[in-house]
Amino acid sequence: MDFLPMLIQIFSWVFIVLGSCLMVIGAAGMLRFADFWARLHAASVIESGGMIFLLLGMCLQANDWLIFFKLAFIGLFLFITGPAATHAVAKAALSDQSRKNSTKSAIK
């Protein structure tokens, strides 16, 4: 086995394992935190750290440039749509709270 492919394999698996760990930790945080906002923060670990590391690992596994570019496209779109989705959920929660006249409990 050549040195370079082995190095790529090692890096790829380190990234994939790290990303999976972040995903599991984020999921645990979503269950562990009691409050809605804290759960939202735990979910953003999944969509930033976990997503980036898993995609990096998969990019290194890809032996075809087309697959590499497809993964890069997925990463780019998740970078734009992920925060937009989180923001939509957060804003909906905020307007729901103010509808129930309990905004003061959120803004301490």
Partner 1 sequence: MRSLFISFVLLSLTWLLLSGVYKGLIMGLGLLSVLLTIYFVRRMDKIDGYTIDFSINIFKLLGYFFWLLMEIAKSNIEVVKAIIKGDNHINKKMFFISTSQRSDLGKVIFANSITLTPGTISINLENNQLCVHALNFNEASTKGLEEMDRRVKNIESGS
Q: Write down the residue that tokens 């129930």 correspond to.
A: 100
Binding of partner 1 by 13 (CB under 8 A): no
Q: Applying CB under 8 A, what is the total number of residues that bind partner 1?
A: 36
DSSP 46: I
Binding of partner 1 by 29 (CB under 8 A): yes
Which amino acid makes up residue 95? S
Per-position x/- string for 41-70, each x denoting binding to partner 1 as judged by CB under 8 A, each - no binding: xx-xx--xx--x-------------x--xx
What minimum distance in Å lies between the beta carbon of 82 and partner 1? 7
* Contact partners, residue 29, CB within 8 Å, separation at least 6: 38, 39, 41, 42, 43, 45
Q: Do 58 and 49 meet the contact criterion of CB atoms below 8 Å apart?
A: no
Closer residue to partner 1 in complex, CB, 6/28? 28
Q: Do 15 and 38 meet the contact criterion of CB atoms below 8 Å apart?
A: no
By the criterion CB under 8 A, which residues form the site for partner 1?
22, 25-26, 28-29, 32-35, 37-38, 40-42, 44-45, 48-49, 52, 66, 69-70, 73, 79-80, 82-84, 86-87, 90-91, 94, 106-108
